[in-house]
Amino acid sequence: MRASSSPSDLSLALAALQDIFPHSLLSSSALLDPIRTFLRTLASLGATLSSVRLPSAPLGLSAYYVLASAEASSNLARYDGVQFGYRAEEKVGEKEQLYARTRTEGFGKEVRKRLLLGTFALSAECVLSLCPARPEGSPPEPCADSCLSARRRAFDNYYLQAQRVRRLIQLELDDLFSSPSPLAAPVSPTARRSDGVDFLLHPSTMSTAPLLSSYSPPSSGSTPTPTASPDDRTSASRSAYVQDLLSLPASLAGLPALSIPAGRATDDGWPVGVTLVGQWGADREVLEVAQRVEMARREAQR
């Protein structure tokens, strides 16, 4: 996988992940033009370019938010105001209410949203309305083993399914690389697939950096400035979630990835990036290639 040490020779097989090139980017020449120029620079350095498919990529966004929220719910459970973190003002005789107010006041809106989603995804409690063994009108006590499937439904349908999607994406990415994953079954260190690639490429974002005003309304007492409408802020907030589609394949599979400057958009002049993804354990190679590509791009701009 290691390329020539000369910055003018990049004898590597690179492939663009076709399934995570969003339509909004493909329809925008302002963003696409610098990426095309970047790819032409790679080709001029001797890199072989192609495109590959990652069929499970569209499923990754849902799996990512289930898994990330579940991890947040588990990891942030310790911040209860007793041993760690912020503690709300305590009132005499208050116990459960103190715990609830501490977490409500201490966590922001986005964190609370993910905690609720993660707690639900990990829940294995009895779902009364789904229990086939509970007679109508019976008291709300915990069920016996007769409704075990109902108790595990949320955990199985969300968390375990998300883990299966994560594993599927990992296997599909492994099949794209020329070098086998060190985490797979024991293989020869020199084993390589002739139809594989050394690195994967995809856009880093779906747009250039947004204005802060598109996410937050102006604070009281601040100097009036042109700001986005509430509808624009809602659209920007939703777009921020979809942006994760471009970073989640490497994150879910545990692969090294690095965003490289590819130029500037032709409309607003803000930077545009391309992400370089390598096989598991190829962190050094990713950094070396990124450094040489950046050196070549700067030389071409002189």
pLDDT in tens, 231-288: 454 455 556 677 788 888 899 999 999 999 988 888 888 999 999 999 999 999 999 9
Q: What is the mean pLDDT of residues 179-191?
A: 70
Q: Give the model's pLDDT for residue 10.
A: 73
Tell me: domain 13-57+177-217+226-301, CATH 3.90.1300.10, correct?
Answer: yes
Q: How far apart are CA 22 and CA 258, in angstroms?
A: 19
Give the tokens for residue 58: 């569209």
pLDDT value at position 239?
65
Q: CB-based contacts of 296: which residues, under 8 Å, 6+ apart?
A: 7, 8, 10, 41, 45
**Residue range 203-213: mean pLDDT, rounded:** 81
Instruction: Write the CB contacts of 174 (distance below 8 Å, at least 6 apart in sequence).
Output: 180, 181, 184, 253, 279
Say if residue 87's pLDDT is above 70: yes
Q: Is the pLDDT of residue 115 over 70?
A: yes
| pLDDT over 90 at 122, yes or no | no
Strands 257-264, 271-277: pairing is antiparallel
The pLDDT, as a whole number, for residue 198 is 92
Q: What residue spans define the domains of the chain?
A: 13-57+177-217+226-301, 59-164
pLDDT confidence tier of residue 295, bands split at 50, 70 and 90: confident
Residue 199, classed as helix, strand or coil, is strand
Q: Over 60: is that where the pLDDT of 214 sits?
A: yes
pLDDT band at 171 (very low <50, low <70, confident <90, very high): very high
Least confident span in 61-65, 187-191, 240-244, 265-269: 187-191
Give the per-residue pLDDT at 164: 94
Give the global pTM. Answer: 0.75
- Given a cut of 50, whether residue 224 has pLDDT beyond it is no
- Cβ atoms within 10 Å, residue 154: 18
Residues 6 or more apart whose CB falls under 8 angstroms from that of 32 comprise 25, 26
Which pLDDT belongs to residue 176?
Answer: 92
pLDDT at residue 213, as a whole number: 72
Quick one: pLDDT at residue 210? Answer: 77
Which segment of 96-100, 104-108, 212-216 scores lowest on mean pLDDT?
212-216
Q: Exposure pattern of 178-215 as b/e (b: 16+ CB <10 Å)?
A: bbbbeeeeeeeeeeeeeebbbbbbbbbbbbbebeeebe
> Mean pLDDT for the chain?
78
Res 226 pLDDT > 70? no
Q: What span, in angstroms and rounded, lies between the C-alpha atoms of 72 and 133?
A: 33
